Amino acid sequence: MSDYIFRLIGQSMCERVHKQFCGEREKRRPTSSAWCDKAIDCSTKPSTTFDLSNGPVVGSRKRPSEGNYEKEKEHCIALFDQWSEAEQVEFVERLISRMCHYQHGHINSYLKPMLQRDFITALPAQGLDHIAENILSFLDARSLCAAELVCKEWQRVISEGMLWKKLIERMVRTDPLWKGLSERHQWEKYLFKNRTSEIPPNSYYHSLYPKIIQDIETIEANWRCGRHNLQRIQCRSENSKGVYCLQYDDDKIISGLRDNSIKVSQHYFFLLLHTSGVLAGNSLTGIFVTTGEVLNTLIHHNEAVLHLRFANGLMVTCSKDRSIAVWDMASPTDISLRRVLVGHRAAVNVVDFDDKYIVSASGDRTIKVWSTSTCEFVRTLNGHKRGIACLQYRDRLVVSGSSDNTIRLWDIECGACLRVLEGHEELVRCIRFDNKRIVSGAYDGKIKVWDLQAALDPRAPASTLCLRTLVEHSGRVFRLQFDEFQIISSSHDDTILIWDFLNVSTNGQSEGRSPSRTYTYISR
């Protein structure tokens, strides 16, 4: 401790101590504490002259003889060693307070490397490699690149800890775009596995990361510029009147046609449908599609059932009879009516819900918000000038489309309209959104892609909100769904279109990096 303190202070410091506590003791008596009195040999005569007129010591100094300086320094060190840690700290603080600025700089330069610790290198030396790996695993890609360049030991910890693999796994778990790419590019098979001979080395994941970023940037550019591959599925039959509704997942597309038929791929799932055409019946029928067995039929609404949603044991239906029915759904065969919600003055066209709110939209131009747990009315969202045909609700945001040809964004908690999107020329029939964009389809046959984040920014000009207009349908767009890679839409023109933004054609040929998904349709 003593060597550290006085080597830090240096030769000029010792001169300063000698002068302040001995040479000027008659003019400026040091503190009366016993330990400070011990520290100064008051029998020493002053040997340095300086000017005290302007703060710290300035001016000329006369060095004491080497013999006296060394003797006095050793005496101070000996006394210093006898004090407690608190006394030593107080003493050094007093010495530093009497120094000038450039001396403080010397001390700072001396202290700085002593206070630094390379804990990433030190931890493995103590057998704590896993702690070093865990610390570095919280870095993002840019920081991880920088960490590899610090030294060979840091690079070893990152490599042996497979930290690039862990970074990619973290992104796949939290970002649906990354998850989708891992499935389509088939490098998911190298993730979420323990260290075995089957997985590649860390360098593979290091080189894979920038390729994934490049793919993401390409997909985003394709969305902005409207570049896509188009797959057209014909659903025309003798009595076809348009593909009115659809839903898809990784394995199948289910579509409902105006000729009262349903077209579906051969996979196992449970389907709820209306008995007399898509918008004609007033009952709900549960069918196990694989066998065609009718599992349940629910009779409640007095007129056509126009829309429904079900999730997590709850189902909400709405009808032309202006009511909303809330059902407890223990199983396909055990469904009971919980509550009927009444308040709209016209047909209820669409519903959506989560654990907090049920949201309904009607031809009466209003959106109503209800409590999911109590089924009590909460508030009404007013703004549309004509009936509302579609909406989606998630978190605090509700996005609705209307026959007034506009799209509105709402804050469900306060009921405020955040933005009005204009551009469609006829009724907006379907609308979906995610964290980045809104996709809408209308009776004008057009699909529009909107920038959601810009739409939520009141400073963004209206002219910048629509990213792209897609025109391929020759009839009204009835329904659409989309994810990070594609839009699937259905229309009155008896077609389903798949707009692929991942596998974009280059010079007439597909890029070929990701296999395109093919859906085979079978009429039931």
- Residue-wise pLDDT tens digits, 433-445: 999 999 999 999 9
pLDDT digit string, tens, across residues 268-317: 344 444 444 444 455 555 545 455 566 777 888 888 888 888 888 898 98
Give dist(CA 61, CA 63) in Å, integer.
6
Distance in angstroms (rounded) separating the CA atoms of residues 373 and 369: 12
Burial profile 369-378: b = 16 or more Cβ within 10 angstroms, e = fewer: bbebeeeeeb
- The pLDDT tens digits of the residues spanning 459-490 come to 999 999 999 999 999 899 988 989 899 998 88
Distance in angstroms (rounded) separating the CA atoms of residues 109 and 431: 63
Give the whole-angstrom CA distance, residue 524 versus residue 514: 31
Of 26-35, 70-79, 152-161, 368-377, where does mean pLDDT reach its minimum?
A: 26-35
Sheet holding 486-491, edge to edge: 229-234, 495-500, 486-491, 477-482
Question: What is the C-alpha separation between 88 and 82, in angstroms, rounded?
Answer: 9
- Mean pLDDT across 4-20: 43
| Residue 293 CB partners (closer than 8 Å, separation 6+) | 287
C-alpha torsion angle, residues 436, 441, 447, 450 (rounded to 10)? -30
If you average pLDDT over residues 348-371, what whole number do you get? 96
Cα 74 from Cα 369, distance rounded (Å): 83
The residues near 385 (Cβ < 8 Å, ≥ 6 apart) are: 365, 402, 404, 406
pLDDT higher than threshold 70 for residue 40: no
Q: Is residue 260 scored above 60 in pLDDT?
A: no
- What amino acid occupies position 216? I
CA of residue 298 relative to chain centroid, distance: 40
- Note the pLDDT tens digit of each residue in 164-195: 999 999 999 999 899 989 888 888 888 887 76
Listed range (191-205, 207-221, 332-346, 509-523) with the worst mean pLDDT: 509-523
Residues 318 and 308: beta-carbon distance below 8 Å: yes
At 202-230, the pLDDT tens digits run 889 999 999 999 999 999 999 988 899 88
Residues paired with 52 in a beta bridge:
none
Which tens digit of pLDDT belongs to each residue from 107-126? 888 888 888 788 888 888 88
Question: What backbone phi and psi angles, to 5 degrees, belong to 309?
Answer: -140, 140
* pLDDT over threshold 50, residue 374: yes
Mean pLDDT of 418-438: 95
CB contact burial 52-85 (16+ within 10 A = b; e otherwise): eeeeebeeeeeebeeeebeebbeebeebbeebee
Q: HEC states along 264-285?
A: ECCCCCEEEEECCCCCCCCEEE
**Predicted model pTM:** 0.68
Q: Which domains occur in the chain, in start order?
A: 162-225 (1.20.1280.50), 228-500 (2.130.10.10)
270 and 292 Cβ atoms separated by less than 8 Å:
no
